[in-house]
A and B are shown apart, each in its own frame.
Chain A
């Protein structure tokens, strides 16, 4: 992995981001709803509305607005939210930790379950338990996170009410957070009551997000493992007396991980996109939930800021996955 490759990848992200920014900007300016009208209510006079319009820069021409917006972006200023009347950058930074904790927890869950499923399935190769694993993966893979969220609410929230289905933690607990990374911070500060509650509330949304990713990763990894198991080195290791389990773990897995990660990498970004709905369904206070409110309120600066945030997250995840692949496969490092 040369640093010029990394630089190249980062440079390639620039036109993608620019495209995303432009498309969002243009799309949002043709929205029929008027954010100022929604903000002021029926009592406002023409003069008030004109004043506010000027305050948010909505009285300029479209091109002028875009140039101003780009200029602000360059200095890291995302503008002011119309519905919440706060700095968009600060709003997003405040909520982002919530989503990041949820996403990381979900990804971790997905990857560990996928590893377990794929390894078990490969271990049972050609026998009946393998069919059960395949059937399970086949059903899970077909159902999107949105439906998992609703089904899990029905099953574990209502039918057998063991899991909380709303919010980030019990409202009876108070936690004065400095970073908004509740899970990590409460753990570090030793407030285990908070940690427990946050984890408890995180399980259902995280599992909803994790299941589709788990199924796809497990399926891809399993077929890559299967391909490896037919290679000569595996037969050789087996004839030399290594057990099946040991061959899978110590030899086939490492080789299968490279194509499996490359093939399922995109799915990690889908998980991030899934937070929009899953957070909404569970009333989880992250940036996904915020995004839906922003659209409903026609809060143009906030929507723009959030779309940009998601695009940056997507690109970052793709980059991390590429780095992981080159880390796994030494042959790719010196290209």
Chain B
């Protein structure tokens, strides 16, 4: 691949791809907010003040400057709940996406590289998995595992490993036909060693893109499960909890729905932009 800027370091090229920069910027902001939540949040996110419930954002007429973005049904500070919700969202996104990637990539590489019975078994499993509606499966899973962040993470891993498995399997099959694999076999390397030391590094760029996209999906799934009321106990602040409350009282307090939805949309958009941006830089086929 001969391309104008291909010789420049990859980090440089990513930092000059607008979508990637946008995605990185928002992601960085989210990480900062999550890390500094105790200092940023003006209130304890669980502190109730029943006399101050349903307050609108502070710039509106009956707003209270002490509650910047208003309060919820129990008089909890919406801004603080959003800030702590960022924490929950990021933890779920990072942990669930990484674990799903580990499981899916391992199985995908095995299926793609060894073929035969291994492939048949794994592909069949993927087929069965895909015949479930993902949302329904995740709801059933969380009902099985019980409420809590760990349940959400396990549910995401159990459902979304197929996304990695399908793509990685296909790419491994492509890589397997490359000359470097044949050379490895000729000089006497074991097939397992070729798979780990030679094929895996070539899968990395694709894997990073998938991982970024999966983080966005994980954030949405966590929101969905909180929305359905099955995710975490309501004393853990999540965007989904707010959304669920907001949907119930939509006509009284539309901001209670609007603000967390905006947070989820923004984080999903930025992670997608980051994934697309990285793909654009590292994938020679999308470049003309």
Residues of chain A whose beta carbon lies under 8 Å from any beta carbon of chain B:
15-17, 19-20, 23-24, 27-28, 30-33, 138-139, 141-144, 146-147, 150-151, 153-154, 157-159, 165, 266, 269-270, 272-274, 276-277, 280-281, 288, 291-292, 295-296, 298, 303, 306-307, 310-311, 314-315
Whether A33 pairs with B224 at a CB distance below 8 angstroms is no
23 contacts between A and B (CB under 8 A): A20-B132, A28-B140, A28-B144, A32-B144, A141-B272, A142-B216, A144-B217, A146-B223, A147-B264, A150-B257, A154-B250, A154-B258, A158-B254, A276-B135, A277-B228, A292-B139, A296-B143, A296-B229, A296-B230, A307-B137, A311-B131, A311-B132, A315-B131
Instruction: Report the minimum CB–CB distance from A13 to chain B (whole Å).
Output: 9
Q: Taking each of B131, B132, B139, B230, which has the highest tally of chain A beta carbons within 10 Å of its own beta carbon?
A: B131
Instruction: Report the minimum CB–CB distance from A116 to chain B (whole Å).
Output: 23
Majority secondary structure of chain A interface residues (helix, strand, loop or mixed): helix
Instruction: Report the minimum CB–CB distance from A154 to chain B (whole Å).
Output: 5
Task: Assess A144 versus B220: contact at CB under 8 Å? Given A28-B144, A30-B144, A276-B139.
Answer: yes
* Contact of B146 with A by CB under 8 A: yes
Chain B residue, CB-CB nearest to A166: B250
Whether B268 pairs with A273 at a CB distance below 8 angstroms is no
Q: Which residues of A contact B137 (CB under 8 A)?
A: 307
- How far does the alpha carbon of A144 sit from the alpha carbon of B217 in the complex, in Å? 9
Task: Assess A266 versus B140: contact at CB under 8 Å? Given A147-B265, A292-B228.
Answer: no
Instruction: Report the minimum CB–CB distance from A285 to chain B (whole Å).
Output: 17
Task: Assess A273 versus B257: contact at CB under 8 Å? Given A19-B128, A24-B140, A32-B146.
Answer: no
Contact count A vs B, C-beta below 8 Å: 119
* Contact of B116 with A by CB under 8 A: no
Residue among A141, A277, A296, A314 making CB contact with B135, cutoff 8 Å? A277
- How far does the alpha carbon of A266 sit from the alpha carbon of B220 in the complex, in Å? 20
Instruction: Report the minimum CB–CB distance from B30 to chain A (whole Å).
Output: 16
Could you tell me how many residues of chain B have their Cβ less than 8 Å away from some Cβ of chain A? 41
Whether A27 pairs with B140 at a CB distance below 8 angstroms is yes
* Contact of B243 with A by CB under 8 A: yes
* Contact of B95 with A by CB under 8 A: no
Whether B131 pairs with A16 at a CB distance below 8 angstroms is yes
- List B111-147 residues whose CB lies under 8 Å from chain A: 124, 127-128, 130-137, 139-141, 143-144, 146
Q: Which residues of A contact B257 (CB under 8 A)?
A: 150, 153-154
Q: Which residues of A contact B247 (CB under 8 A)?
A: 150, 153, 281
Chain A residue, CB-CB nearest to B125: A19
Whether A142 pairs with B132 at a CB distance below 8 angstroms is no
Q: Which residues of A contact B136 (CB under 8 A)?
A: 273, 276, 288, 291, 295, 306-307, 310
Task: Assess A158 versus B250: contact at CB under 8 Å? Given A142-B216, A296-B229.
Answer: yes
Q: Which residues of B contact A30 (CB under 8 A)?
A: 144
Chain A residue, CB-CB nearest to B137: A307
Q: Taking each of B132, B216, B217, which has the highest tally of chain A beta carbons within 10 Å of its own beta carbon?
A: B132
- How far does the alpha carbon of A225 sit from the alpha carbon of B11 in the complex, in Å? 33
Whether A310 pairs with B132 at a CB distance below 8 angstroms is yes
Whether A158 pairs with B128 at a CB distance below 8 angstroms is no
Task: Assess A27 versus B132: contact at CB under 8 Å? Given A277-B224, A292-B228.
Answer: no
Residue among B228, B251, B265, B276 making CB contact with A151, cutoff 8 Å? B265
Residue among A17, A32, A159, A314 making CB contact with B254, cutoff 8 Å? A159
* Contact of B181 with A by CB under 8 A: no
* Contact of B261 with A by CB under 8 A: yes
- How far does the alpha carbon of A306 sit from the alpha carbon of B140 in the complex, in Å? 12
Chain B residue, CB-CB nearest to A272: B133
Residue among A20, A146, A270, A295 making CB contact with B131, cutoff 8 Å? A20
Whether A158 pairs with B261 at a CB distance below 8 angstroms is no
Q: Which residues of B contact A33 (CB under 8 A)?
A: 143
- How far does the alpha carbon of A221 sit from the alpha carbon of B272 in the complex, in Å? 20
Q: Which residues of A contact B143 (CB under 8 A)?
A: 31, 33, 295-296, 298
Task: Assess A310 versus B133: contact at CB under 8 Å? Given A143-B265, A158-B254.
Answer: yes
Whether A150 pairs with B128 at a CB distance below 8 angstroms is no
Instruction: Report the minimum CB–CB distance from A258 to chain B (whole Å).
Output: 20
Mark interface residues in B205-221 (1 if CB within 8 Å of A CB, else 0): 00000000000110010
Task: Assess A27 versus B216: contact at CB under 8 Å? Given A16-B128, A273-B134.
Answer: no
Chain B residue, CB-CB nearest to A30: B144
Instruction: Report the minimum CB–CB distance from A97 to chain B (whole Å).
Output: 18
Instruction: Report the minimum CB–CB distance from A230 to chain B (whole Å).
Output: 11
- List B271-288 residues whose CB lies under 8 Å from chain A: 272-273, 276
Q: Which residues of B contact A138 (CB under 8 A)?
A: 276
Instruction: Report the minimum CB–CB distance from B263 to chain A (whole Å).
Output: 11
* Contact of B94 with A by CB under 8 A: no
Q: What are the 6 A-B residue pairs with the smallest beta carbon separation, nearest first?
A: A273-B133, A142-B272, A19-B128, A276-B135, A311-B131, A310-B133
- How far does the alpha carbon of A295 sit from the alpha carbon of B140 in the complex, in Å? 6
Q: Which residues of B contact A153 (CB under 8 A)?
A: 247, 250, 257
Instruction: Report the minimum CB–CB distance from B17 to chain A (whole Å).
Output: 14
- How far does the alpha carbon of A137 sit from the alpha carbon of B229 in the complex, in Å? 32
- How far does the alpha carbon of A159 sit from the alpha carbon of B251 in the complex, in Å? 10
Whether B139 pairs with A17 at a CB distance below 8 angstroms is no
Q: Which residues of A contact B223 (CB under 8 A)?
A: 146
Instruction: Report the minimum CB–CB distance from B232 to chain A (whole Å).
Output: 16
Q: Which residues of A contact B268 (CB under 8 A)?
A: 142-144, 147
Whether B140 pairs with A158 at a CB distance below 8 angstroms is no
- How far does the alpha carbon of A158 sit from the alpha carbon of B246 in the complex, in Å? 12
Excluding A280-B228, A295-B143, 11 further A-B contacts by CB distance (< 8 Å) are A32-B146, A142-B216, A142-B268, A143-B265, A147-B220, A151-B261, A276-B136, A292-B139, A296-B228, A310-B132, A310-B136
